[in-house]
């Protein structure tokens, strides 16, 4: 067994042991709440003594508090960090800028595990003879996220593989982590009263429970690889069950460059990458009825030599029932043709209109969806780089959430679908791409409910 030559570099990198028991994780959050409260009281007293006006939001969002919250949740990893990421993206455009600022930093990578904790995890999953499985492993992870970190390794037969290794204690602490972070958010007073947190919290728990079972993610890898076989422009790493457990996911190591590397590539390549991402969304919705709902830049890479978009993470995959897929097909068709009657029918089928929705509220929702489908109506390839569509959607969404007593929280599946599409739009804008969205959409027929 040969460890990587990067051992010293790994040890020099900032790392903290992941708290694994419920008690220790609760203690970390309790300590965080006390630290933030103390900072608020001290700074507030100083401002009062100096004759300045005191703002609760300004006191709460001091740089030292934002740093403390982000650092603590990144240290805990798991549900605490994941929930911050979900809220910052799923409810993103409907959150006040203050809360969005507080959550923004959680989109960065988590801190790495110390190597002793990593080795202990390998032993607990593969047994005391775990060294026999590999000829080489990089102790320094090349990717980290809220639930696990990824290491490059080589099997005894010489195959290069990627190992996603889950942080300890994540699965057993989902309920308590989500409840405690939700409590902190409520106490902050920054979440709009109209946004129903409870359904989001319940769904976050269910989603996270699925994401922490790497055997389930392995099956998703198999399903997406099979479903995308007709499309050679996509590459799904092969799942390796013989090296996988509930908390270690082994897969083929696939080479590719981060999408950010292509920001200055030639225009044809940038347009192709963005076009493939949007095509993938339509394939997932209308053929596979399953979407990978986390459109994070880190979840994709591109192999320019093979001209393939590499799909790296399927933990946040969700099945979409045909009725919902049909509703979204009608919504996009209505947006393409500016068909108000069909748009109304589609939004009702998706579940956006409750029983007691007034006409003014309904009008704002329809305007929001016509705005979101603007790329479909472009007479030429839509220029994501110069469009202000994201800003206009945000402003319209904020006006919607401000209508006290009328806010209707949409179905959770719809939030994840919107998160996916919004994330793809943002990646297309980052690449400065132009895409003929209508041409891509017109390749798909309406899913029919049996």
Torsion of CA 431, 223, 416, 289, to 10 degrees: 100
56-65 long-range contacts, Cβ below 8 Å, gap at least 24?
A: 56/189, 57/98, 57/190, 60/36, 60/98, 60/188, 60/190, 61/98, 61/101, 61/102, 64/39, 65/36, 65/39, 65/40
Q: Is 276 a catalytic residue?
A: no
Other C-beta atoms lying within 10 Å of the C-beta of residue 183 = 12
Helix (H, G, I), strand (E, B) or coil at 319: strand
Tokens representing 423 are 């994330």
Give the C-alpha distances (Å, rounded to integers) separating 215 from 118, 125, 306, 363: 19, 13, 29, 44
Say which residues have a Cβ less than 8 Å from residue 352's Cβ, sequence separation at least 6.
365, 408, 410, 411, 414
Q: What are 136's strand-pairing partners?
A: 2, 154
Q: Which of 294, 313, 388, 395 is catalytic?
A: 294
Tokens 């305007």 -> residue: 367
Round to whole Å and give the CA distance between 189 and 61.
12
CA neighbor of 115 nearest in space, from 141, 144, 135: 141
Round to whole Å and give the CA distance between 313 and 292.
8
Tokens representing 263 are 């920001």
Round to whole Å and give the CA distance between 252 and 152.
10
Tokens representing 213 are 């079972």
94-98 long-range contacts, Cβ below 8 Å, gap at least 24?
A: 94/192, 94/195, 94/397, 94/398, 94/400, 94/401, 95/190, 95/191, 95/192, 95/195, 96/190, 96/192, 98/57, 98/60, 98/61, 98/190
404 burial (CB, 10 Å; 0-12 / 13-18 / 19+) is exposed
Tokens representing 309 are 């978009």
Assess contact for 249 and 218: CB atoms under 8 A.
yes
Q: Which positions are catalytic?
A: 294
């Amino acid at each position: 067994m040969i460890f990587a030559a990067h051992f010293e570099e790994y040890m020099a990198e900032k790392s903290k042991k992941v708290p694994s028991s419920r008690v220790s994780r609760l203690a970390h959050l309790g300590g965080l709440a006390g630290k933030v409260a103390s900072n608020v009281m001290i700074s507030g007293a100083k401002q009062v003594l100096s004759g300045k006006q005191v703002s609760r939001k300004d006191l709460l969002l001091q740089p030292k508090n934002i740093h403390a919250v982000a650092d603590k949740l990144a240290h805990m990893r798991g549900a605490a960090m994941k929930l911050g990421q979900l809220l910052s993206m799923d409810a993103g455009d409907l959150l006040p800028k203050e809360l969005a600022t507080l959550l923004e930093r959680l989109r960065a990578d988590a801190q790495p595990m110390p190597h002793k904790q990593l080795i202990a995890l390998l032993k607990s999953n593969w047994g005391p003879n775990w060294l026999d499985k590999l000829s080489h492993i990089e102790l320094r992870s090349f990717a980290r996220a809220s639930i696990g970190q990824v290491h490059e390794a080589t099997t005894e037969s010489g195959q290069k593989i990627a190992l996603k290794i889950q942080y300890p204690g994540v699965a057993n602490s989902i309920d308590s982590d989500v409840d405690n972070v939700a409590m902190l958010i409520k106490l902050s007073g920054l979440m709009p009263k109209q946004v129903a947190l409870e359904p989001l919290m319940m769904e976050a728990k269910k989603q996270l429970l699925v994401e922490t079972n790497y055997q389930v993610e392995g099956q998703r890898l198999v399903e997406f690889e099979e479903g995308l076989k007709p499309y050679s422009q996509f590459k799904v790493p092969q799942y390796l069950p013989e090296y996988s457990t509930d908390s270690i996911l082994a897969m083929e190591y696939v080479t590719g460059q981060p999408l950010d590397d292509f920001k200055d590539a030639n225009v044809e390549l940038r347009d192709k990458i963005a076009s493939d991402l949007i095509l993938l969304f339509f394939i997932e919705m209308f053929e596979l009825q399953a979407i990978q709902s986390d459109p994070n830049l880190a979840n994709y890479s591109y192999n320019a030599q093979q001209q393939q978009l590499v799909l790296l993470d399927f933990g946040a995959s969700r099945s979409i029932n045909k009725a919902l897929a049909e509703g979204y097909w009608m919504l996009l068709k209505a947006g393409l043709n500016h068909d108000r009657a069909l748009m109304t029918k589609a939004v009702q089928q998706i579940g956006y209109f409750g029983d007691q929705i007034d006409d003014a509220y309904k009008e704002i929702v329809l305007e929001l969806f016509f705005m979101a489908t603007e790329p479909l109506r472009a007479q030429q390839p839509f220029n994501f780089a110069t469009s202000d569509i994201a800003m206009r959607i945000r402003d319209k969404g904020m006006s919607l959430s401000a209508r006290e007593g009328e806010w209707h929280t949409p179905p959770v599946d719809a939030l994840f679908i919107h998160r996916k599409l919004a994330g793809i739009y943002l990646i297309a804008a980052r690449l400065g791409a132009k895409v003929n969205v209508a041409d891509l959409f017109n390749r798909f027929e309406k899913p029919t409910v049996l």
